[in-house]
Amino acid sequence: MACAQNSAAQPGTPKIGLRERKKIQTRQAIRRAAYRLFAEHGYEATSVDRIAEVSPSTVSRYFPTREDIVLTDEYGPLLEAGLRARPAGEPMTESMRHVAVEALRRLSAEERAELVQRARLIREVPAIRGRTAENTARDSAMISAVLAERTGRSADDLEVRVISTALLAGLQEALLHWVADGQRDDLGTLIDRAMNVLGRGLTW
């Protein structure tokens, strides 16, 4: 998801093996090198070959396209674990609010800066913005599975899918508004506002 969590262990998060941890570390190193170059030279001027921390073939193995460097992350399993750890009877808006705000609290200064840069790239680069639908579909399917378990309904149920997609859209719009507005407001407060809109049935 566009907003979210760092890789620190959280309650309910499955333990990650050494091999997978090394893969995550490599992906994070590539992303950080790419973000630094994007900031220095611009996204369009930064080719895979310029990301010098690792070879171009390694970058391509982890991220098939430049857009994937921005949009691919390790946060999905953490988001899923966080949602599953919440009370089964809790409204999904409250569960998402809690998980997202807690994740923000855990972000380091470096991770927060990367979050800002990621959101800016999503807003400003059409190729990245166009690819966000793929990530949304993946994360929406995960949330639908969690919601289906809570309610006993099918994950393909229309209402379940609408709720899941709306939750993700609320998070993303809060993030994009935060960046577009120069981060004047607290992001956690904006997430609260977005979840409140959904929680009261899309009314003022």
DSSP conformation letters of 91-148: -HHHHHHHHHHHHHHH--HHHHHHHHHHHHHHHH-HHHHHHHHHHHHHHHHHHHHHHH
Comparing CA positions, the residue from 140, 128, 198 lying closest to residue 170 is 198
111 lies in a domain? yes
56 lies in a domain? no
Read off the pLDDT of residues 144-190 as tens digits, 9 standing for 90 and up: 999 999 999 999 999 999 999 999 999 999 999 999 999 999 999 99
121 lies in a domain? yes
The reported pLDDT for the residue numbered 1 is 45
Count of the separate structural domains present in the chain: 1
57 lies in a domain? no
59 lies in a domain? no
Domain with 182 in it: 66-199
- Residue 65: partners with Cβ closer than 8 Å, 6 or more residues away: 131
31 lies in a domain? no
14 lies in a domain? no
Looking up residue 105, the CATH number of its domain turns out to be: 1.10.357.10
Read off the pLDDT of residues 111-126 as tens digits, 9 standing for 90 and up: 888 899 999 999 999 9
75 lies in a domain? yes
Instruction: Please state, rounded to an integer, the average pLDDT across all residues of the chain.
Output: 87
- Asked if 9 and 81 touch (Cβ cutoff 8 Å), the reply is no
